[in-house]
Structure 1
């Protein structure tokens, strides 16, 4: 289960690995992540908002200091059992600072314009060369989880058109897969990420992201305007996350995993130059995490920090640990979950339900929506409410129900019940002040 976040080789927690300036601090950081249940980091081979982290310069010459950086990072991730979702290019800064990038033709590179990245034959060769080098060097490491073979694919990268998306994905994906099969006898999972608003403007892009036969899982960046990218409260973003996760799962092929691989208050941070107050941001983070997870996404989604300094807070780390400690309550190898956000019935409309289930197990998250205070957070002193819940699809039998405190990471109540009459599994929650997660599992 990918519990983790976006990280970067230039951000404070990993910066010491460059030129081995402070390996000890990086090791301490990765050890802390492992102790908090983090299993996966999303990283870019280069992060080019400056001039000293290019992976290639010139094209085809892989920088020795960057090779050493990644050798060290993979070794440390192996040591602390962390996996890496690796993407070869930082397309955001590459776009903004294109005049400096080694791939630009005037700098000796293969490509004249940003709008030709996905179309230029020589750029394709360079992309394949980079991926081949990376998998030959680190593909044998157990720390490599998967490839995001192109970060935030966009029509602007291909002459303002999506016509080329499918062919580009097929070309790069098949090359990488064949290379890994030749080297290792197996291939790592692959995805292509996308900025979610693109999917509404370009339905054919959605077909590629969610259903392309060359890809193994789907990933989208949840930056919905105003609710997620510029939140006014900690509830609306979670409601949007549940809706977006359901929409994504409805588009994917059967049994293809999905998760949000970027989200966060990017508009607040980047455009308004504001870092959210830590208590607010911690609650916003926790609500999004559980809404994504309970709605059937893999893990809790991957936050882009959008804070100053650019790192997750202690509260966010604790929230990840709480999610990780919840995971053993479900048998994931046999859980064929389906999103039931709209089908679950609750007796009190003060709660937004998020849930997924199959015939024998269910995950439920109930988030209170009617006690938002003047600073946009839920009132921790509100009167607790019990809720009657109906979940369709579960078969009759004896079940164990574990009600879980998402703040403390402890069981509020564990009890068993017999479910004898279909069509709906019904139970009553313990009193809820703000939110509650529930694991339901047939035990006979």
Structure 2
């Protein structure tokens, strides 16, 4: 691929081959502007982390391209990234404020080109607020550095700071906004009342102001706008009464939270508890959301374990932890598998995690997302064995179920014995013939059946040959349209 240097406000060279992403008209999931469904499968990544550090100053473009090629080959469709990652002094996007640094601009030019080539999109947020807060004295936005804002407790209320933030978004949408690589905007990373005079109302005003600014600019330039969200550290939701802000703010298009939980996710002792907490958090989120609004976890991982031990979890355990959280998240009704923050040395995901992403990405092809008006069914689906926990979602024509053996809560789920044959009973489905796909979360499809539902529940006999398995259920298309095939995977049926 040929790279050429461009000036700050010029539009960079771009293939512009990717259509933009939008929320589906009839379901709480995503599609592109051509009507093809799209699922966010990916993780958090950063400018200074190993896989992209070579792209800065073009020290090793081939390495960064190899990383993206590897991601694409493993079903990854989306990265969550910050416009700058200020753990060090030499990755500021602006220095001083309003002067966009050529090396950083070049980094983003090159990254957008590579992402277009490998069809990987980016959920973009303006700052890494963790390091920005810890190193605030050195940050260009601080008044001590001739920046606009005196205190980090005024980040979201200071008029000059708000103007600078808007200009940062404007720079990105003017320079790279034509590209479908930009999936959507996370208006603030882990929004917190502490940065807005301890006022929820001030947070509401921040979201409204930034949302209006971005939409007006996009409509002016491109006659359409991208999905918007704002992320939050999940424990703050109840501590600060932020549920209405995050899940129901009228300016937002989808909801995203960061799945941290002290007793199960932050320092995991077993994979079952992490999965159970994930399923519960998704269920609680969906109960708060407007029915048409998508939801997913945009950051999670063993944060406390990593900080205390200065290392990642043992790799086999971490791979299982990742897989279990991914499937609990997805089957409970969230879009995709959630977005891991690595918390490893080196700071990258393992090959086992990539295989788990590829497996999930393949499963997503079984569902007709454009018409899937899911509700969470974690507590409504019945499973015939007390040693099996179930996670699921569905509407009147489709369902996703993930079953987990919980015979042992000690350590890796590989210690669990497969429970054998069990009965799965799914409520809410209309009468008719259903195509049922049984799915191994490591190898893929293991069996398919046609099952007729005529009573209160769809009854499925399942042979669990491992400690967990997934099931995709869809009303046969012939029952709906007089045609052959399945209700899910219509394009390939």
Q: TM-score range by the shorter chain?
A: over 0.9
The equivalent position to 2:402 in structure 1, one of 345, 348, 365, is 365
Offset from partner CA, 1:28-49 (integer Å, 9 cap, x none) = 1000000100000000010000
Query: Which secondary structure state, in structure 2, belongs to the residue aligned with residue 389 of structure 1?
Result: strand
Q: Is the 8 A contact 1:222 1:263 kept in 2?
A: yes
Query: Which secondary structure state, in structure 2, belongs to the residue aligned with residue 387 of structure 1?
Result: strand
1:383: how far off? 4.6
- Rounded Cα–Cα distance in structure 1 between residues aligned with 2:265 and 2:238: 17
- Rounded Cα–Cα distance in structure 2 between residues aligned with 1:223 and 1:384: 30
- Rounded Cα–Cα distance in structure 1 between residues aligned with 2:72 and 2:418: 37
1:380: how far off? 4.9
- Rounded Cα–Cα distance in structure 1 between residues aligned with 2:296 and 2:435: 27
- Rounded Cα–Cα distance in structure 2 between residues aligned with 1:91 and 1:98: 10
Give the equivalent residue in structure 2 for 1:425: 458
After TM superposition, list the pairs within 5 Å mapping 1:179-328 onto structure 2.
179-203=217-241, 205-328=242-365
The equivalent position to 2:130 in structure 1, one of 62, 85, 92, is 92
- Rounded Cα–Cα distance in structure 2 between residues aligned with 1:355 and 1:229: 24
- Rounded Cα–Cα distance in structure 2 between residues aligned with 1:124 and 1:337: 37
Give the equivalent residue in structure 2 for 1:406: 441
Give the equivalent residue in structure 1 for 2:421: 386
The equivalent position to 1:46 in structure 2, one of 74, 84, 95, is 84
Q: Is the 8 A contact 1:380 1:433 kept in 2?
A: no
1:241: how far off? 0.2
1:161 aligns with 2:210: no
Q: Is the 8 A contact 1:305 1:312 kept in 2?
A: yes
1:18 aligns with 2:56: yes
Give the equivalent residue in structure 1 for 2:471: 438
Specify whether residues 383 and 217 from structure 1 end up closer, same or farther in structure 2 by C-alpha distance, changes over 3 A only. Answer: closer
The equivalent position to 1:56 in structure 2, one of 94, 111, 121, is 94
Count of aligned positions = 439
1:349: how far off? 1.3
Show structure 1 runs of 5+ residues with no match. Answer: none
Query: Which secondary structure state, in structure 1, belongs to the residue aligned with residue 420 of structure 2?
Result: coil
- Rounded Cα–Cα distance in structure 2 between residues aligned with 1:118 and 1:431: 51
Offset from partner CA, 1:174-215 (integer Å, 9 cap, x none) = 001100000100011100000001001122x21111001100
TM-score (norm 1): 0.97
The equivalent position to 2:432 in structure 1, one of 397, 403, 407, is 397
1:33 aligns with 2:71: yes
Specify whether residues 348 and 371 from structure 1 end up closer, same or farther in structure 2 by C-alpha distance, changes over 3 A only. Answer: same
Offset from partner CA, 1:350-387 (integer Å, 9 cap, x none) = 111100001111000001111344xx012457254221
Query: Which secondary structure state, in structure 2, belongs to the residue aligned with residue 60 of structure 1?
Result: coil
Give the equivalent residue in structure 2 for 1:116: 154
Deviates more, 1:411-420 or 1:179-188: 411-420
TM-score (norm 2): 0.88
Offset from partner CA, 1:292-320 (integer Å, 9 cap, x none) = 00000000000000001000000000000
Query: Which secondary structure state, in structure 2, belongs to the residue aligned with residue 164 of structure 1?
Result: helix
- Rounded Cα–Cα distance in structure 1 between residues aligned with 2:415 and 2:465: 10
1:340 aligns with 2:373: no
- Rounded Cα–Cα distance in structure 2 between residues aligned with 1:320 and 1:394: 28
Q: Is the 8 A contact 2:282 2:332 kept in 1?
A: yes
